Structure 1
């Protein structure tokens, strides 16, 4: 276990210069004693007090500079976070504490979007330091200061609250619109449709799909909806059992003259949904014997990235968790060493689905290096903060919204092994995985694209849509956010 070295911290009253070298870049932070605090002070019992008992503080950010920019600048905040992460990883408790205190003063939890984002990373770094080391001064700082409170108060949503939460931005609605349009086209002519919904949003996509299916000219098919029972508390969390949720969906479908069968299969992303795959195999055998054909739709919405991939070392897995729970016939000698993510996709291919929809966030959180993950997360997760800054003011909705983002930040930064479930991969890597699993990409129709564009018209002007070959990508101010891809067996 990592151990911090605790060296006495002496901060001169008039001036402190923190200098550290990383990749030949020198970070020099000049802090001067001031009688007025920048945002708030730590308690007098904090290690951040001078020998005279007065707390050190910073002048306003416009006069505090680092590397030529202001402390309040996002680039400078990112530099401070990177240097702090390096200090924590190298067991330099004194430097880590100094930078954490700087961050604590310039990134209040009620500041602008960049400050609130940085505050989330500050909390995550303290959580990592207290989990992996034995630095009592860092622990004292965490306990003494509400700004660094390690308890993230995530909210469990009612169904109505979750629906309203999803409607705030196109973050999820983009994938819903693109997927539903593609699914409608793929199931044309089928009287039985089996939808496997692997979604982080607890079937919130399904009511709109049921509405569209109900209006099918040839009449609605019989729908079987299978979901993986939630085994981990990953936001957004639902304050209802899946049995309750299923009952509501069945009643809603009945009101639209659609027959719906809802089934929950206890299954976990930790082992690549192996029990779900086995259930689907058995179901296929049963229906093959009965001679009934059905369309098999696999809808993957921002959940597959929770499945372990190659950077999760097998030695970090619990003893009762097999690194490869699948038994798919293969002549390849590398099968036994493949990740659960790879094996899950191969298992999907063996089911010969009618269509697979894969929607996820376009970022890379898989690096085994903390600083790489931090940089990638910081340069992606500013988007959800920025996207709601103009219209989502102080209130419960923003607290819930940002608490879920902070949970993601802490999972990326503070957790390791199987506990680190936020393992996003960019679209290019998912495309290669799908091709390696013997899928070929399919294009979204013009009707599907028009559907997505119509949905985006309901939101702020910063959101955009672009096509990358056969795929669709949601953007915010030109930056990739979420991708949607379609796949069929090759």
Structure 2
């Protein structure tokens, strides 16, 4: 099926409409949307290729097929807070990063009376309740928490059905119920420019309230969000910085990390999926995506029955990601995962030093994995932790401090 998809992609790119249509016909017959995991995976790529052909207009008959095929529609779900929390609990995909990050954060903030957490997360602060719970039980008493989130992130799955202001009110009330003081702030800042507005607000705040004056820790929690930041070279949006470490020749990813380093944070946690979707070559991206995206389709069969609503939501989100990787180009192609090795190098270049996760953190992650299917595993790679499915890398967790 992978080879058929590659031949089809080549035919679309070379405008060979006849061959493309023949292969699409074959794929349509052998990869039904309700088949086994490999067939559903292939169907997702089939949709994406038809969408790509329709967008470019290179094959008129395929464009007509796209316009007339209801199966091509991806109906992503807008979650309520309760639905999203339940949805995330289904697999360790996000919970792994939550557990590892929370353990690292708890250690880093020991002794601080005020903790400023900047949460850059694709899961809309779903990590925060468990962190607040853990902080509430701190032996010396909980610190006051300032929680800052970027409110204008890309409209990508999973999506939430309420505003961040409403979400913030819920979190403040939850923290109050746990006897934890919480201040919630939304800054309109987007990954498309490397969160430039957010960085500027944090920089100004650091000048007004320098770290250490009131025992304040600054924690940057990056959970599957930074790969939405473009890696192209762009003009420097951080024009208020006078640091020579942030230059106009940097990519937005490097610029963001260097700008973080200027803030001298107490801890940076970086969690993301361990794959490479950055190639400008469609065939390379297709191969890489096919050899990674089989994992969520394979895992879903272990915990959700066919026809289940949550399964439909889960696979719609996966299909959205596949279509973005395959059908989109330029800045609209936001699913640009990088492997752990590349992020590690970026962090080191920005003058951060990796720190290991403690044995307590590893025990927390292992206990969480025990609640899920037997195929999930954990391995250590130097200072880092990696979530695996049947031995294949899925998500990595890293923790960093300034050098």
- Match 2:127 to one of 205, 210, 223: 205
1:162 to 63, 69, 84: 84
Q: Which residue of 1 aligns with 2:100?
A: 178
Task: Classify the secondary structure of the residue corresponding to 2:209.
Answer: helix
Tell me: CA distance 1:198–1:289, structure 2 relative to 1, closer, same or farther (3 Å): closer
Aligned position for 1:343? 255
Superposed, 1:78-93 pairs within 5 Å as 78-93=2-17
Q: Structure 2 CA distance, aligned partners of 1:131 and 1:371?
A: 17
2:308 paired residue number: 395
Indicate the structure (1 or 2) with the bigger Cα radius of gyration.
1
- CA shift in 2, pair 1:289/1:105, >3 Å: closer
In the TM superposition, what is the alpha-carbon distance from 1:296 to its structure 2 partner?
Answer: 0.2
Corresponding residue for 1:127? Answer: 51
The SS at the match of 1:182 is: helix
Matching residue within 352, 364, 380 for 2:292: 380
Alignment of 1:203-352 (within 5 A): 203-288=125-210, 291-310=213-232, 323-327=235-239, 328-331=241-244, 335-352=247-264
Query: In the alignment, what sits opposite 1:118?
Result: 42
Correspondence for 1:98: 22
List gaps (5 residues or longer) in structure 1.
1-76, 315-321
Q: Distance in 1 between matches of 2:214 and 2:402?
A: 20
**1:271–1:323 CA contact under 8 A, matched in 2:** no
Of structures 1 and 2, the one with the larger relative CO (CA 8 A, separation 6+) is 2
For the Cα contact (< 8 Å) 1:309–1:340, is it kept in 2?
A: yes
Q: Greater shift after overlay, 176-185 or 283-292? A: 283-292
Q: Would you say how many aligned residue pairs link Structure 1 and Structure 2?
A: 401
Q: Aligned with 2:118: secondary structure?
A: strand
Partner in structure 2 of residue 66 of structure 1: none
Worse-matched range after superposition: 421-430 or 92-101 = 92-101
- Matched residues in 2 for 1:324 and 1:115: separation? 44
Rounded to whole Å, the distance in 2 between the matches of 1:82 and 1:305 is: 25
User: What is the CA deviation profile of residues 212-262 of structure 1, one whole-angstrom value per residue up to 9, with x for unaligned ones?
Assistant: 100111110000000000342110000010011000000000000000000
Q: Tell me, in whole angstroms, the C-alpha distance in 1 between the residues paired with 2:289 and 2:201.
A: 35
1:146 aligns with 2:146: no
Q: CA shift at 1:293, angstroms? A: 3.4
* 1:289 Cα deviation after fit: 9.7
Q: Counting helix residues as a fraction of each chain, which structure ranks higher?
A: 2
Structure 2: distance between partners of 1:360 and 1:225: 21
Cα distance in 1 between the residues matched to 2:15 and 2:170: 52
TM-score by length of 2: 0.97
The question of whether the paired residues in 2 share the 8 Å contact of 1:192 and 1:222 is answered with: yes
Q: Give how far 1:136 is off.
A: 2.1
Offset, 1:330: 4.7
**Corresponding residue for 1:10?**
none
Equivalent pair of 1:167/1:173 in contact (CA under 8 Å): yes
Please state how far the C-alpha of 1:134 moved relative to its aligned partner. Answer: 4.2
Structure 2 unaligned spans of 5+: none
TM-aligned CA deviation for residue 290 of structure 1: 10
Deviations 1:83-124 (A, max 9, x none): 111111111111111111111111111111111111110000
CA deviation after TM superposition for structure 1 residue 338, in Å: 1.2
Q: Distance in 1 between matches of 2:137 and 2:311?
A: 36
What per-residue deviation string (whole Å, max 9, x for no partner) do you get for residues 408-448 of structure 1?
A: 00000011111111000000000000000000000000000
Q: Report the 3-state secondary structure (helix = DSSP H, G, I; strand = E; otherwise coil) of the residue aligned with 2:394.
A: strand
1:459 corresponding residue in structure 2: 372
- Shift in Å, 1:135: 2.4
Whether the 8 Å CA contact 1:253–1:260 is kept in 2: the answer is yes
CA distance in 1, matches of 2:326, 2:225: 19
- Residues in 1 aligned to 2:68 and 2:138: alpha-carbon distance in whole angstroms: 60
